[in-house]
Amino acid sequence: MISKFNYLVSFYFGPRGNENYNARLKDNKFFFAEKHIEFLENYSENNIEKVIFVVNLTPSDDQEEITNFFAENSSKISDEIEFDLIFRDNYGFSYAAWNEGIIDDLQKEGGEAEYYMCLEEDYMLRTDTSILPIIERCNEVTSYVACSAVIDHPDYPDHASFSEGMFYKDSCRKVYEEKGNPFYIINGNNDYPHAWKIQETFYKNFLDMGYKITDFLDGYSCDFLYTGSNEVKTFGESDTEKLIVPIMP
């Protein structure tokens, strides 16, 4: 039986710390969205149940323009895949956007998906089969498989929190029922602690209930783009298959 997942992406259409990205988005604000839709349009595996796009709105965003773009382009995705578009205020980074997307899905109940694949708009799965090793590692005990789990790699005390990854849906449901939110969301002006501590903070509700975090760096790797320098850092052994990569401008 095929294990199905929901493809959950947080979007932000405001300015960024990467000037190459800003230049690209000035020409086409939907550059990242188009890349995800293109990936989904050509996706060959029959294991996505739902696509959930969550937009972190800024005061300058035109919500109608964004709605129209996704209405026109989501039709490129298979009719067998459900599509949801969610708008929210821009606080809590991508973590709060993922949180809201998961809650929205849990409240609708039903469905066959067992996992949430959570991505920021400027990262994506490298190939159609990149999801499979991630699914293999995600279960009712280890309910979060990140790109780079800081708990597994304490010798990187100040690396960026590379939190793209997969969450086990049933664990999300249990944490939501117990805590009121799957993720621990800090209210205010994005005042999460620095770098790797962010990962532990937003996953706090899971840790409090005994769930574990891991990653896939035991046999695979992923690339991270430092937005200020445009340097690409590989997490894991560089000669292994990369599962998640940045969308380059």
Written as one letter, the residue type at 128 is D
The encoded tokens of residue 96 equal 């709060």
| Residues of the chain below pLDDT 70 | 1, 150-161, 187-197
Sign of torsion, CA 85 215 137 140?
negative
Taken in order of first residue, the domains within the chain and their CATH numbers are 5-218 (3.90.550.10)
- Within its chain, how far is the Cα of 112 from the centroid? 20
In 42-168, which ranges are continuous DSSP H helix?
63-73, 93-108, 131-137
CA–CA dist 97, 183 (Å, integer): 10
Written as one letter, the residue type at 117 is M
CA–CA dist 181, 95 (Å, integer): 11
In 114-247, at which residue ranges do the beta strands (DSSP E only) sit? 115-120, 123-125, 142-146, 165-168, 212-215, 221-225, 232-235, 242-246
From 145, 191, 194, select the one nearest 171 (Cα to Cα): 145
Q: How high is the pLDDT of residue 194?
A: 54
Q: How high is the pLDDT of residue 159?
A: 53
Q: What is the pLDDT of residues 28-75, one digit of tens each?
A: 999 999 999 999 999 999 999 999 999 999 999 999 999 999 999 999
CA–CA dist 92, 110 (Å, integer): 28
Measured in Å, how far apart are the chain's first and last C-alpha atoms? 38
* C-alpha distances out from residue 94 to 59, 118, 239, 243, Å: 17, 9, 29, 20
The crossing angle, in degrees rounded to 10, of helices 19-27 and 31-41 is: 80
CA–CA dist 108, 50 (Å, integer): 12
Strands in 212-215's sheet, in edge-to-edge order, are 82-89, 48-57, 5-12, 115-120, 165-168, 142-146, 212-215
